[in-house]
Chain A
Amino acid sequence: MKELIGVINLDDELDQLNELTYFRCGAAVPFAGRYRLIDFILSNMTNAGIVDIALFVRRKYRSLMDHLGEGKSWDLDRNHGGLFILPPDWNDPTDTSLGDLQHVHNNMDFFHRSSGSHMVHSGSRHISKVDLREVYKQHISSGNDVTLVYKKVEELRPEHEACLRIDVDEQGQVTDIHKELDHSNIYIEMFIIDKYKYLELVKDCIAHGKNQFFRDAIQENRDRLKIGAYAYDGYHAVINSVESYFANSMDLLNRENYTELFRDQPISTKIKYEVPTRYTENAEVKNSLVANGCTIAGQVENSILFRGVQIGKGARISNSILMQKCVIEDNAVIENVIMDKDVHLSRGVTLMGDTRKPFVIAKSSQI
């Protein structure tokens, strides 16, 4: 879809996942056995045929750059357009822009050179499978200035507390944007807007010393803009804390959620040439998600194993998430644990967390 360009703005995203975001930004946090959070929004964009995508990063983006490379796995290694990772490497002495507006001000070339007339603006914390072609269609036919995407959640969970809600009238127009806790229309931090309208609003914000685009140009400007709402109904998860990361990961062990997230359009991620997972004669695996390259000789239940994990004989893993290349030696026991990459757990060690408060082990720990 040549009409659309994509902006993934990670500027507002705090490093909220404790040990998991000590060395990486939230967008680079591994999820669902073989992905990183960024893969979901990136795949939504490429599945909609978007080929010009800018990624605004500010902190801890080494791991993200390593993951994305030149965008080949997402089919974004293009002669014209493709993926642009835009770190804050700018030095304009006349620049008076603040906050996330700086990214736009200092990367005007991206907006001018990209061929699309409209842009999708998104973060990476909300995992969804929004069909952006449909959002765009609605945006154009409605004649609105901007279209916000929201999900009416069935059940309000703790991670929704930090989310913005939107009130929508019968015509699908947004009447209010707020944080009232009992409202269930969760704004999934995604909007479509005319590219030039966006640039105009950015310019206006900068002129008035503003520093946060969504709040200052959309939320505060409600009366002057025609703001529409697109009701998304499909898989949705917000990852903004260790608890929400754990809960939403475990929810994927529910077959319906798994199917909803992975059916139809594929989610792309960095290709690794791992062998299929080997389950030995002693393996007992139940209700788990397992990626390739693992060798499992122990018991695994209600857990998620990323690529290349090794589980020794007699080891018991339950309600846990083990990221890439963790090694669990024989007879070790873990329950309610999130293990970051490359953790090595020695023979017979026991680690326990709580279902609501998982025990998080930092990357490359030796225990």
Chain B
Amino acid sequence: MKKEVVAMLLAGGQGKRLKGLTKSLAKPAVYFGGTYRIIDFPLSNCTHSGIDTVGVLTQYEPLVLHSYIGVGSDWDLDRRGGGVFVLPPHERENGSSWYQGTADAIYRNLNFIEQFNPEHVLVLSGDHIYKMDYNEMLRFHKEKDADCTISVIDVTVEEATRFGILNTNDDLSIYEFEEKPKQPKSTLASMGIYLFKWDVLRRHLIEDENKASSSFDFGKDIIPLMLENSMKLYAYPFKGYWKDVGTIQSLWEANMDLLCDEPKLKLNDPSWRIYTRSPNQPAEFIAPGAKLNNCMINEGCVVHGEVIHSILFYGVEVGEGSVIKDSIIHPKVKIGRNVRINKAIINENIVIEDGTVIGSDSGDEIVLVNSEEDYAARSGRGREVTNP
């Protein structure tokens, strides 16, 4: 069955910089925005862009991700002749090994892509928060008759030193790719979204795979190789909200961006809903003594205390006299009475005892509470402070 575009979503990364949050799950499965997981964004973007065939490449701790994606029905990706396919590394005739890099992961699934005989392949990553119509990018890609189109976002010169930067001519054709340049020549940062002509990509994946020195990475190997071979590469400028949530700091910031007066990322958008696995919880219960100020609260929460500039995922309980500020509370966390939580991320299912203090008013650092032990270690000091 011929498809115009097949999407390949790279979801195998560990996301080491997210520390404990990715202890037992892959980065794309990390929670975001009170109800989502990061992978909901690229999957929903695919559905809304009319891309109905998505291969999800998994490797690191895939259990949560695999069961979360299921048959893809939550994203309308349970389709005949397409849909979502989970593609972990597998044993082959000539031996087995893990995916060696992003390009290797696609290379090892050439036969998956070939069965759809697509004209183009869209390569996505599972660690960014953004809403994007990939169709617009496809239109640009076809207009330019590009071999590869890379979606870029304009960043500040300062930020440019932390991204993969694309140096372009006036017509947006790319002549150079620089990974984290010290002296950036351009401020167009790669968003990790690549659209390739399938035959060109195929050729280059095979060529790269046969290079002993390759690290099998799109940014480091495939793109430079295509430039070397004088392929037509273009930068597609994306205007809109896009955030890499690869660190605790950036994840926290992206969450807090939702609490601005006019958030740049509009989630409450009926024409571009971000789909997610519904936890099916009752309407949240806001008790008589509760105080809510600039926050997002999901269903299934029971709030007795005060919630300021924070995000509560489903099923969170906040006891009387407790104050949650500048924090993100993951699903089913039970917070007792007279607890103070400041600028923290509390991972799912943790029980926080009465009187605990986590984080401080003045602290700049974001406290990650990832397990009961983690919090017990931090709370000893706090109990003394708050208990009368």
Q: Does B225 contact A (CB under 8 A)?
A: no
Interface residues of A in 283-315 (CB under 8 A from B): 283-293, 295, 304-306
Interface residues of B in 276-320 (CB under 8 A from A): 276, 278, 280, 282-299, 302, 307, 311-313
Residues of the A chain whose Cβ atoms lie less than 8 Å from the Cβ of B287: 255, 286-287
Residues of the A chain whose Cβ atoms lie less than 8 Å from the Cβ of B296: 275-279
* Contact A273 B275, beta carbon cutoff 8 Å: yes
Interface residues of B in 156-197 (CB under 8 A from A): none
Inter-chain CA distance A261–B375, complex, in Å, is 32
Given contacts A279-B292, A287-B288, contact A34 B282 (CB under 8 A): yes
Q: Does A90 contact B (CB under 8 A)?
A: no
Residues of the B chain whose Cβ atoms lie less than 8 Å from the Cβ of A88: none
Q: Is chain A's binding surface mostly helix, strand, loop or mixed?
A: loop
Shortest beta-carbon distance from A13 to chain B in Å: 24
Given contacts A276-B35, A276-B311, contact A271 B288 (CB under 8 A): no
Q: Mark B218-230, 1 if CB is under 8 A from A, else 0.
A: 0000000000000
Q: Which of A273, A280, A288, A305 contacts B276 (CB 8 A)?
A: A273
* Contact B283 A283, beta carbon cutoff 8 Å: no
Shortest beta-carbon distance from B241 to chain A in Å: 15
Interface residues of B in 24-48 (CB under 8 A from A): 33-35
* Contact B298 A266, beta carbon cutoff 8 Å: no
Residues of the A chain whose Cβ atoms lie less than 8 Å from the Cβ of B286: 285-290
Residues of the B chain whose Cβ atoms lie less than 8 Å from the Cβ of A278: 268, 295-296
Inter-chain CA distance A290–B297, complex, in Å, is 9
Q: Does B113 contact A (CB under 8 A)?
A: no
* Contact A267 B283, beta carbon cutoff 8 Å: no
Q: Mark A250-268, 1 if CB is under 8 A from B, else 0.
A: 0000010010011000111
Shortest beta-carbon distance from A300 to chain B in Å: 8
Q: Does A269 contact B (CB under 8 A)?
A: yes
Inter-chain CA distance A286–B268, complex, in Å, is 23
Residues of the A chain whose Cβ atoms lie less than 8 Å from the Cβ of B297: 276-277, 279, 290
* Contact A273 B280, beta carbon cutoff 8 Å: no
Q: Does A193 contact B (CB under 8 A)?
A: no
Q: Does A32 contact B (CB under 8 A)?
A: yes
Chain B, residue nearest A310 (CB): B268
Size category of the B interface is 35 or more
Q: Does B274 contact A (CB under 8 A)?
A: yes
Q: Does A358 contact B (CB under 8 A)?
A: no
Q: Which of B273, B278, B283, B294 contacts A279 (CB 8 A)?
A: B294
Q: Does A82 contact B (CB under 8 A)?
A: no
* Contact B293 A32, beta carbon cutoff 8 Å: no
Q: Which of B35, B267, B282 contacts A262 (CB 8 A)?
A: B282
Given contacts A273-B274, A277-B296, A277-B297, contact A295 B285 (CB under 8 A): no
* Contact B293 A281, beta carbon cutoff 8 Å: yes
Size category of the A interface is 35 or more
Chain B, residue nearest A262 (CB): B282
Q: Which of A32, A287, A295 contacts B283 (CB 8 A)?
A: A32
Q: Which of B34, B278, B284 contacts A271 (CB 8 A)?
A: B278
Chain B, residue nearest A288 (CB): B286
Shortest beta-carbon distance from A4 to chain B in Å: 23
Given contacts A273-B276, A275-B35, A276-B312, contact A255 B294 (CB under 8 A): no
Residues of the A chain whose Cβ atoms lie less than 8 Å from the Cβ of B285: 255, 258, 288-289
Residues of the A chain whose Cβ atoms lie less than 8 Å from the Cβ of B273: 273
Inter-chain CA distance A263–B302, complex, in Å, is 13
Residues of the B chain whose Cβ atoms lie less than 8 Å from the Cβ of A261: 282
Q: Does A33 contact B (CB under 8 A)?
A: yes
Chain A, residue nearest B314 (CB): A276
Interface residues of B in 230-281 (CB under 8 A from A): 267-268, 273-276, 278, 280
* Contact A289 B284, beta carbon cutoff 8 Å: yes
Given contacts A275-B267, A286-B286, contact A266 B34 (CB under 8 A): no
Residues of the B chain whose Cβ atoms lie less than 8 Å from the Cβ of A72: 73
Chain A, residue nearest B296 (CB): A276
Residues of the A chain whose Cβ atoms lie less than 8 Å from the Cβ of B288: 286-287
Inter-chain CA distance A34–B274, complex, in Å, is 19
Inter-chain CA distance A163–B49, complex, in Å, is 53
- Pick from B276, B286, B291, B312 the residue with the most CB of A within 10 Å: B286
Residues of the A chain whose Cβ atoms lie less than 8 Å from the Cβ of B278: 271, 273
Residues of the A chain whose Cβ atoms lie less than 8 Å from the Cβ of B292: 279, 283-285
Shortest beta-carbon distance from B310 to chain A in Å: 10
* Contact B293 A295, beta carbon cutoff 8 Å: no
* Contact B268 A293, beta carbon cutoff 8 Å: yes
Chain A, residue nearest B300 (CB): A262
Chain B, residue nearest A280 (CB): B294
Inter-chain CA distance A279–B291, complex, in Å, is 10
Given contacts A276-B311, A278-B268, A295-B268, contact A268 B280 (CB under 8 A): yes
Residues of the B chain whose Cβ atoms lie less than 8 Å from the Cβ of A275: 33-35, 267-268, 274, 296
Inter-chain CA distance A286–B293, complex, in Å, is 12
Q: Please, could you name 30 A-B residue pairs with CB atoms under 8 Å apart, sorted by A?
A: A32-B282, A33-B283, A34-B282, A34-B283, A258-B285, A266-B280, A267-B282, A273-B74, A273-B275, A275-B296, A276-B35, A276-B296, A276-B312, A279-B292, A279-B297, A281-B293, A281-B294, A288-B285, A288-B286, A289-B282, A289-B284, A290-B283, A290-B286, A290-B297, A291-B284, A291-B299, A295-B268, A304-B283, A305-B283, A306-B283
Counting from the closest, the 3 A-B pairs by CB-CB distance are A33-B283, A276-B34, A276-B298
* Given A287-B286, A290-B284, 13 new contacts (CB under 8 A): A33-B283, A258-B282, A261-B282, A271-B280, A273-B74, A275-B34, A275-B274, A276-B33, A276-B313, A277-B284, A278-B268, A279-B307, A286-B290
Question: Measuring CB to CB, which residues of chain B are less than 8 angstroms from any residue of chain A?
Answer: 33-35, 73-74, 267-268, 273-276, 278, 280, 282-299, 302, 307, 311-313
